[in-house]
Amino acid sequence: MNDLMSIAEARRRLFERFRPLPHEKVPIGEADGRVLAEDVSAAIDLPPFANSSVDGFAVRAGDVASASASAPVRLPVAGDIPAGATHTTYLAEGQAARIMTGAPLPPGADAIVPVEATNFKRTSMGAPLPAEVKVREATSPGANVRKAGLDVLAGSLALAHGTSLRPQEVALLAALGRSHVLAFRRPRVAVLSTGDELVEPGSSLRHGQIYESNAIMLVAMVRRAGGVAIDLGIARDDLQEIVTRLDWALREGADLIITSAGVSVGAFDLVRAAIEQNGAIEFWRVDLRPGKPLAFGRYRDVPILGLPGNPVSSFVTFELFAHAAMRALEGRSPRELPRVSVTLEEAVTSDGRESYLRAQVRREGREFQARVLEKQASSVLSSLAAANGLVIIPSGVREVAAGAHLDAWLLEE
């Protein structure tokens, strides 16, 4: 019925044209947000040695088997083992040693009695070493002991190639002693705005001009997606100027160029001419609202993605397509924003394309309610700014009743 390319098909085609970038050695202090380009196997046991999980007294469980509150077992305290103690002495039968959380279990001992199960108060742990401790509870071998390798065994796979590193993975790498890891290079993404009507915010507007807003948004989106942004500024609707700025992207080592506007079938479709002169471009008519026209090609050797000029179209097509391309460059699978099922507060209509409607989504108990915002034109930024979600009307659907369930993307805060 329609000759539009599905969004899934456009994403698939785009994704398969990108290969992961080379990897580089990254200090772990800068590794958050990067993607691992190696399998990390543990060089050491984690923890590296058996240690205490509480503040208390190291004992032989057998020595306190009969201990109870009414008949405590008295043991002489043979030593003091703080965290960081690099050597500990043998604990002989019938002895106890005071031990702190994280301190190595002395050879000979097999359990830790927590300080709460002795005649000492927690607050007295900083006090001088007592000569004797009364143990009020029996314990069993292994109690309150973190065995060597409990967390990760030496030689086992700790993190797999392709893992996206978050603060928690970075912590695991650090705990294993890694100072650097191999990660895919961050994609360098150049952003070009085109149009004679555009002026930089901060300058004065003449009649007929508007402030440039797409490049500033797309640069921010590139950064949030983990890329390094190269801002190519605003090109006039002038073939030579567009070529000059695109060539600048090449000199800056761009892995991907994103343009906004100037590719529509109008008198000023000069981005298209600039690319055709120095590469190749194809146009996809995608089953998407907003954002039907999408251009993809190569400028010399660099992939180029031409997004529509209307701000909301630029936003949605970045999320659907440019983000997927950036993920492919980092060796990741394509992924959309998180989706939830929402109940519509009011009926909505669509034109049959898969539509992304700006909405306020709020949680009501276990459910999400969505209120689609009033101004849905693709030029309207205020409703995009007010939205915390985009409600998705599937392809082929023209009317959805109030109370119906639809999927929605949740936008990042």
Binding residues for ligand AMP, rule: CB under 6 A, are: 193, 195, 197-198, 210, 212-215, 260-262, 264, 266, 308-311, 379
* Inter-residue contact 164 to 326 (CB < 8 Å): no
Please choose, out of 80-88, 195-203, 347-355, 396-404, the segment that lies near Mg ion by the rule CB under 5 A: 195-203
Instruction: Decide if residue 242 touches Mg ion (CB under 5 A).
Output: no
Q: Closer to ligand AMP at the Cβ: 210 or 280?
A: 210
Q: Alpha helices of 212-348 — where are they, by DSSP H?
A: 214-224, 239-251, 270-278, 311-317, 323-329
Give yes or no for residue 293 binding Mg ion (CB under 5 A).
no
Q: Given the complex with Mg ion, which of 238 and 336 has the nearer CB atom?
A: 238
Q: Looking at beta carbons only, is 56 or 309 nearer to Mg ion?
A: 309
Nearest Cα residue to 316 out of 232, 395, 193, 218: 218
Residue 260 binds which of ligand AMP, Mg ion, none (CB < 5-8 A, kind-dependent): ligand AMP
| CA-wise closest residue to 286 among 3, 81, 5 | 5
Who contacts 233 (Cβ-Cβ below 8 Å, separation ≥6)? 192, 193, 215, 245
Q: Peptide bond before 107: cis, by omega within 30 degrees of 0?
A: no
Q: Are 406 and 342 a contacting pair, CB within 8 Å?
A: yes
Distance of CA 340 to the CA centre of its chain: 18
Nearer Cβ to ligand AMP, position 104 or 262?
A: 262
For Mg ion (CB under 5 A), the number of binding residues is 3
Asked if 14 touches Mg ion (CB under 5 A), the answer is no
Least distance from Mg ion to the Cβ atom of residue 304, Å: 17
Inter-residue contact 222 to 267 (CB < 8 Å):
no
The answer to the question of residue 261 lying near Mg ion (CB under 5 A) is yes
The least CB distance from residue 263 to ligand AMP, in Å, is 6
Asked whether position 195 contacts Mg ion by CB under 5 A, the answer is yes
Give, rounded to a whole angstrom, the gap between the first and last alpha carbons of the chain.
38
Q: Which is nearer to ligand AMP, 310 or 383 (CB)?
A: 310
Decide whether 128 or 208 has the Cβ nearer to ligand AMP. Answer: 208
- The β-bridge partners of 51 are 104, 146
Q: Which stretch binds Mg ion (CB under 5 A): 63-71, 88-96, 256-264, 289-297?
A: 256-264
Contacts of 131 (CB under 8 A, 6+ apart): 76, 77
Q: How far is the CB of 160 from ligand AMP (least distance, A)?
A: 40
Which residues in this chain contact Mg ion in the complex, by CB under 5 A? 195, 261-262
